[in-house]
Chains A and B, each alone.
Chain A
Amino acid sequence: MDVWQITSFTLLTALAATALMVPPGLALAWLLARRRFRGRVLVETFVSLPLVMPPVATGLILLLLFSPRGPVGGVLARVGIDVVFTWRAVVLAMTVMGLPLFVRTVRAGFEQVDTRYEAIAGTLGASPIRVFFSITLPLAFPALAAGAVLGFARAIGEFGATIMVAGSIPGVTRTLPVAIYTFTEIGRDRDAAMLLAVSAGIAFAALWLSNYLTSRAGLRT
């Protein structure tokens, strides 16, 4: 068993997923924190849905959407992009499952930024885009970092949606949690235990970092 391959694959796909969470996550967090619009509660509910739905059910939805006969997968297949049972499906599952945590954390960060700073920046001639990037985002940065770490940690631990949409193909889609499950099932307990130790180490480091950043965010505002 290649512990290194499984670990590095999991870390890389989780990093890619975290990077993919940031643009839509920032936009959603800002919308929910700063705008009152019709359907706001609906958006809020929709974003948080993967947090409360069984991950396997979320995985099934993704499978239906992204399979070559699905509405999204069909379009992608026509341009030659396969998703299900490839590394892309792993990243997709991780992104969808991590996004709610990212959005909730960053939204709370935006809400802590005093709107007076934004109003004053506006009177000084800064456009809303400049206000966002020069005032709101830097002031909410610790929350942004904490949200990214949480989303990343969630991505590392993703199992249910991943196994549905990506399976457990050695060297192709097998991530740490999926490998632990597979090895335990076929009686390779030592391998499973080794991967368990690696996951515990990563989870501990990620949570410690997130808590550290969150506490810094609390001190700053």
Chain B
Amino acid sequence: MIEIDIRLEQGSFVLDVRERLEARVTVLFGPSGAGKTTILDAIAGLRTPVRGAIAVNGRTLFSSTGGINLPSHTRHVGYVSQDIALFPHLDVRRNVTYGQRPGQKLSLESVASILEVGALLDRGVSMLSGGERQRVALARALMSAPDVLLLDEPLAAVDLELRRRILPYLERVRDELAVPILYVTHDRDEARRFADRVVVLDRGNVIRAGVPAEVLPGTDAPAAARKG
């Protein structure tokens, strides 16, 4: 469970969010500039809110009143961003195992089989296709045994065909590994297909939240929820 109650300021942009995220997959939905990525960054410790608190599974990562601000490397979050920064100087195996912790339950074999990256392990990252890079980035995040998986538009940079091929992998991660997922997208279909709960953001605020069928009904999308 992710509890987030923060205010974060970046120039004239103000993010003010208070949410309790208990679903397996929560989709943060909204146009560009709504603050979706900023929320992920705040959870991962890449941006610091001016006030508030963030907790994952009861563990406080940030608390302005408690004077707590855990550094990124102790937060146990798996972050996969849109521009998947695979380490270019390491091969796939060393990328995937970079964050592996000693004694963790999740094995390389199981992650590799869920995401079908076993055959790629000895390749250099420059030899991967777009879809392979996505799966390797996902495998790398999972191998750090995260308490929560943060996915920032992981399919935004790939075409429709590839998207159709990768989504099942994401669903396998959701169904076979009990890691809560926070998924950022501005794609309505992706949100509806993947989410247990949808939080709609606009200009730094939550404007609606609920199950996908209620929050994102049919095609009569409100302007605020279209791709900006």
Identify the stretch in A21-29, A79-87, A125-133 within 8 Å (CB) of chain B at 4 or more residues: A125-133
A117 touches B75 (CB 8 A): no
Output the least CB separation between A71 and chain B (Å). 39
Chain A residues contacting B101 (CB-CB under 8 Å) are: 125
B75 touches A123 (CB 8 A): yes
Output the least CB separation between A28 and chain B (Å). 23
Q: A123-B44, A124-B141 are in contact. Are A135 and B87 (CB under 8 A)?
A: yes
Output the least CB separation between A198 and chain B (Å). 37
Q: A117-B87, A135-B87, A138-B89 are in contact. Are A122 and B73 (CB under 8 A)?
A: yes
Q: Of B45, B73, B140, which is within 8 A of A127 by CB?
A: B73
Q: A124-B99, A138-B89 are in contact. Are A116 and B73 (CB under 8 A)?
A: no
A114 touches B72 (CB 8 A): no
Q: Of B71, B83, B140, which is within 8 A of A122 by CB?
A: B71
B73 touches A128 (CB 8 A): yes
B204 proximal to A (CB < 8 A): no
Output the least CB separation between B105 and chain A (Å). 15
Output the least CB separation between A144 and chain B (Å). 13
Output the least CB separation between B48 and chain A (Å). 13
Is chain B's interface secondary structure helix, strand, loop, or mixed overall?
loop
Contact residues on A (Cβ < 8 Å of other chain), bracket: 10 to 19
Chain A residues contacting B71 (CB-CB under 8 Å) are: 122, 128
B73 touches A125 (CB 8 A): yes
Chain B residues contacting A138 (CB-CB under 8 Å) are: 89
Q: Of B45, B83, B99, which is within 8 A of A126 by CB?
A: B99
Number of contacting residues on B, CB 8 A?
24
A122 touches B72 (CB 8 A): yes
A200 proximal to B (CB < 8 A): no
A125 touches B87 (CB 8 A): no
Q: A116-B83, A121-B98, A123-B78 are in contact. Are A139 and B72 (CB under 8 A)?
A: no
Chain A residues contacting B87 (CB-CB under 8 Å) are: 117, 121, 135
Max count, chain B CB within 10 A of own CB: residue among A120, A126, A128: A120
A120 touches B89 (CB 8 A): no
B134 proximal to A (CB < 8 A): no
Residue of B nearest to A220 (CB): B88
Chain B residues contacting A134 (CB-CB under 8 Å) are: 98
Chain B residues contacting A57 (CB-CB under 8 Å) are: none
Cα A124 to Cα B74 with chains together (Å)? 9
Q: A117-B87, A139-B88 are in contact. Are A122 and B98 (CB under 8 A)?
A: no
Output the least CB separation between B92 and chain A (Å). 15
Q: A122-B71, A122-B72, A125-B144 are in contact. Are A139 and B99 (CB under 8 A)?
A: no
Chain B residues contacting A122 (CB-CB under 8 Å) are: 45-46, 71-73
B56 proximal to A (CB < 8 A): no
Cα A83 to Cα B99 with chains together (Å)? 47
A124 touches B89 (CB 8 A): no
Residue of A nearest to B44 (CB): A123
Cα A139 to Cα B85 with chains together (Å)? 13
Chain B residues contacting A128 (CB-CB under 8 Å) are: 71, 73
Output the least CB separation between B135 and chain A (Å). 16
Per-residue B-contact encoding for A141-185, CB less than 8 Å = 1, 0 else: 000000000000000000000000000000000000000000000
Chain A residues contacting B85 (CB-CB under 8 Å) are: 114, 116-117, 119-120
Q: Which residues of B contact A (CB under 8 A)?
A: 44-46, 71-79, 81, 83, 85, 87-89, 98-99, 101, 140-141, 144
The 3 closest A-B pairs by CB, nearest first: A124-B99, A122-B72, A123-B79
Q: Which residues of A contact B (CB under 8 A)?
A: 114, 116-117, 119-128, 131, 134-135, 138-139, 220
Known pairs A119-B85, A122-B73, A131-B73; list 17 more (Cβ under 8 Å). A114-B85, A116-B83, A116-B85, A120-B85, A121-B98, A122-B72, A123-B46, A123-B73, A123-B75, A124-B73, A124-B99, A124-B144, A125-B144, A126-B98, A128-B71, A128-B73, A139-B88
The contact sample of 10 A-B pairs, CB cut-off 8 A, is: A119-B85, A120-B85, A122-B72, A123-B78, A123-B79, A124-B78, A125-B101, A125-B144, A126-B98, A135-B87
